[in-house]
Structure 1
């Protein structure tokens, strides 16, 4: 019934699997037939505190019964609280602009960088350098910022100019010219194969850009909010970017994006805005999610989950050497790099049949992004089901 309704009335922009999930409990989902699935995707890194989280549900219910939205023309108490909490957890003296998604956050970061280029230099600077295999969003500008040709369809052209791509970090230095205003990178390329960069090369780049007064933008839409083990992957890498973007896990499922910057005086009133961004509901969600995850981190449970998940991931990689080349990623943003002759779709479908959800990424990689609150029992069950799925393929 609902499959036909979807096909008739919803635009066909996704390769749908027509399972109908009705309920969730932490890292376990239940469909309308009562079948359970271990969720190693968390809605592509969004459901950071799991499904059906009672604390988040209670906070949202309380907020809905009072105020959902007024607009940014008035004080929004949970927005102020969330901005303060983000600054405290990041360890940086940042101001935050709230949007509705990662793409919007990256748009805001690019606008901020270009305004910096206008105000800071005698001759306007506007060019932004990104990396091959990067992913920064689906809007016209963030698609252009994405370093993957498959996203640059001629159907959507012409694209905004001022973007270029380098193969790796070491190539960036020679690409900078007197119109370059910023370099935008992910510390772990999620869509690009769950590929982390080396800490030393990132630190070297950050120091170089600072010496040249060129902005470093770090896209933490997927790596942020404790997915790397720290609040920001930036903290893990020991750098201080000029701009950081967040989204996905920040709202635990409620749409929210954020632009963090140490340059608090670049934007002035009217330079940027969002009707829904930072409203009562989304920022109340963000406050509750950060409180939950901060407690989880401080208790040691988060690090224990990371270590245990890593051990199970290494076990399954070793068990199927004909399928998997290596384990990639960090924290609970992980991947199994497959050999080129291995078909990702087949692996994902087999896993689904066994009741475990996984994702694909670039470089022929299976991507695993479980809720950060996943239990040891759910990890065990998920990998047991993966083992059953892969047995018939090895």
Structure 2
């Protein structure tokens, strides 16, 4: 199909909820994507942090193909060995004494986390503590409850009224002032993905976690984007050295197969019928999840992941030094990083010119250009991606130089 035909077909039949780049990717390998016309792109976005082991990973593909030939789905009314094994693996890697619930996405995982917290806050089977505090610039999903939990007004337009019981704190210090006798939980991302790839201070997070535990208030850590080794450990919570009662996962967990997971130390909070999912944790997604975790655990143990984190760091700070006229700072941690542009206009121009040069980077709040490369990216792929990004930065520099 010609690109012009695809554009028209998309306009005719797809609801216009995305500002799409005008390219049709036909295949990928590692950290590279190839368009239908043969142009290659270095993918520093990995499907917004989903393709954690890259595109067409041989081990993952073989596991998926093998499972498709056996059985894709049975309902959760029956035992599922792969689901049990994946839950066991997640718990082991987390180091927590916990149980897992599987859904299909990050938003679903966060919805489940909210339900866990609300049931925890019940008193004698009736509404007791129900309020959940979240943070400005947070993003927790697009369902009505998770949208209300999201601390960005731009996402709220058109969709009120929202479920009640949420309050938005300005920062970590403001959380304390909002806690009252109706508060059951605080929900936050340790590194805000949509909020500028902003990493919270480790000591402040630890102090808040300690205070919440002392006051029997749950800490929910949304690790939809930060989890599954993106910080160098299985969980960002481990990097921050905290033990939340609830952690949510999704994106990179199955390398592109839809999955969401809630990990909670409240092992007996739910009873039969309290929650459920038709597709959540089916055989295909769990087989993929097991393979992804095996690949990434090996990457970590052999120090490949640590090396990639160091290289990404080095390249980003070199860009910052060479293009100090375009960027203010490097943000984020691990393999979830950002370059804060000096304006929205520069951010937009960098994204557009990078795409033209054959490298995919992402937009984030606070004028940030976001980097979420596959965790298995090779040294050659990373080098080529940053060579192309430098060409894009030079184009943008020349544009603003000419304007001045």
CA RMSD of aligned residues (A): 1.1
Number of residue equivalences: 393
Partners of 2:212 and 2:161 in 1: CA distance: 30
| Aligned partner (choices 135, 140, 159) of residue 136 of structure 1 | 140
| Aligned partner (choices 44, 52, 56) of residue 56 of structure 2 | 52
Partners of 1:3 and 1:380 in 2: CA distance: 32
Partners of 2:320 and 2:71 in 1: CA distance: 49
State whether structure 2 residue 246 is matched by structure 1 residue 243: yes
Asked if structure 2 preserves the Cα contact closer than 8 Å seen for 1:323 and 1:342, the reply is: no
Which of 89-98 and 336-345 deviates more? 336-345
**Residue 319 of structure 2 corresponds to which residue in structure 1?**
316
**Residue 177 of structure 1 corresponds to which residue in structure 2?**
180
Point out 4+ residue stretches in structure 1 off by more than 2 angstroms: 119-123, 340-343
State whether structure 2 residue 47 is matched by structure 1 residue 43: yes
Partners of 2:188 and 2:234 in 1: CA distance: 18
**Residue 391 of structure 2 corresponds to which residue in structure 1?**
388
**Residue 287 of structure 2 corresponds to which residue in structure 1?**
284
The Cα offsets for residues 18-52 of structure 1, whole Å up to 9 and x where unpaired, read as 20101111100111111100000000000000000
Shift of 1:75: 0.8
| Aligned partner (choices 343, 348, 353) of residue 351 of structure 2 | 348
Shift of 1:67: 0.5
**Residue 95 of structure 1 corresponds to which residue in structure 2?**
99
Partners of 1:288 and 1:160 in 2: CA distance: 37
**Residue 232 of structure 1 corresponds to which residue in structure 2?**
235
TM-score where L is the length of structure 1: 0.98
Which of 1-10 and 138-147 deviates more? 1-10
| Aligned partner (choices 15, 23, 30) of residue 26 of structure 1 | 30
**Residue 89 of structure 2 corresponds to which residue in structure 1?**
85
Partners of 1:71 and 1:60 in 2: CA distance: 19
The Cα offsets for residues 217-239 of structure 1, whole Å up to 9 and x where unpaired, read as 00000000000111000000010
Shift of 1:119: 4.4
Partners of 2:134 and 2:213 in 1: CA distance: 17
| Aligned partner (choices 371, 374, 379) of residue 371 of structure 1 | 374
TM-score where L is the length of structure 2: 0.96
| Aligned partner (choices 102, 109, 120) of residue 116 of structure 1 | 120
Structure 1 residue matching 2:19: 3-state secondary structure: coil
The Cα offsets for residues 273-322 of structure 1, whole Å up to 9 and x where unpaired, read as 00000000001110000000000000000000110111011101111011
**Residue 126 of structure 1 corresponds to which residue in structure 2?**
130
Asked if structure 1 preserves the Cα contact closer than 8 Å seen for 2:344 and 2:367, the reply is: no
Partners of 2:310 and 2:327 in 1: CA distance: 20
**Residue 215 of structure 1 corresponds to which residue in structure 2?**
218
In structure 2, the CA distance between the partners of 1:298 and 1:61, relative to structure 1 (3 Å rule), is same
Partners of 1:157 and 1:182 in 2: CA distance: 23
Asked if structure 1 preserves the Cα contact closer than 8 Å seen for 2:346 and 2:396, the reply is: no
**Residue 162 of structure 2 corresponds to which residue in structure 1?**
159
| Aligned partner (choices 9, 12, 30) of residue 13 of structure 2 | 9
Shift of 1:340: 2.7
Asked if structure 1 preserves the Cα contact closer than 8 Å seen for 2:188 and 2:221, the reply is: yes
Partners of 1:77 and 1:309 in 2: CA distance: 38
